[in-house]
Amino acid sequence: MYAAKEIHIIFDNCRPQERPVYSHIDAFLLLNAIVAHHINLITILVNHNLINMKDPQLYEKAILWAKRKGFNDLKANTENYDQPSSFTRQGIDTPLIPDITGQSLGGKHYVEIAMKGESEQDTVSKWKLFSAMANMKAGKLYLLAPKGHRAFTDKLVKKYNVDATVVNI
């Protein structure tokens, strides 16, 4: 069985009439391996905050909520906005970036779109960091829970005693 890279090299270097013929099973196995590899890469990138998989519409709702709340100097981890400051933990290379930050009444507030499916431990650690930063800057942490994610968010906030306000969006 050839690796995906070897198959590309074979196909790129052959004229169409010389390309090797594979059975349907070989083609299926190759395609399955390629898809599994891409899923693993995407999972790694998402888990390390190297790509943001949150729906842009959720960001639009969250930014609209923050504007209605009276926040100014908004920064968001999405297109068309300045990116909020990132934080790094000692011994861990990947930065933590809040979804949205904003100023209001002299305080700096942090806003996270709370979603199921992320690592519970990583999520709680991130929320606790943002909560501590908000408290130091006379602000609050707001966890915006889309439909279907509120119970998960409430459970984590209560279980791990996270100082945050949970809001439906």
Domain count, the chain: 2
pLDDT, residue 139, reads: 95
Measured from the Cβ of residue 53, the count of other Cβ atoms closer than 10 Å reads 11
Residues 71, 146 within the same domain: yes
Residues 40, 60 within the same domain: no
Say if CB 101 and CB 133 are below 8 A apart: no
pLDDT surpasses 50 at 151: yes
Where in the sequence is the domain holding 118, given as residue range(s)?
56-168
| Average of per-residue pLDDT values in the chain | 81
What is the mean predicted confidence (pLDDT) over 143-148? 94
Residues 43, 97 within the same domain: no
Residues 25, 67 within the same domain: no
Residue 149: which CATH number? 3.40.1350.10
What is the mean predicted confidence (pLDDT) over 8-15? 52
Run of H or E including 148? none
CA–CA dist 29, 51 (Å, integer): 28
pLDDT surpasses 70 at 21: no
Q: Which residues pair with 111 in a beta bridge?
A: 100, 142
Residues 160, 83 within the same domain: yes
Residues 24, 95 within the same domain: no
Helices then strands, each counted (H, E), the chain: 5, 5
| 0.95 exceeded by pTM | no
Residues 67, 20 within the same domain: no
For helices 4-12 and 24-47, the axis angle rounded to 10 degrees is 120
Residues 42, 67 within the same domain: no
CA–CA dist 31, 4 (Å, integer): 9
Residues 129, 153 within the same domain: yes
Residues 64, 41 within the same domain: no
pLDDT, residue 51, reads: 46
Structure tokens of 5? 């890279």
CA–CA dist 102, 12 (Å, integer): 51
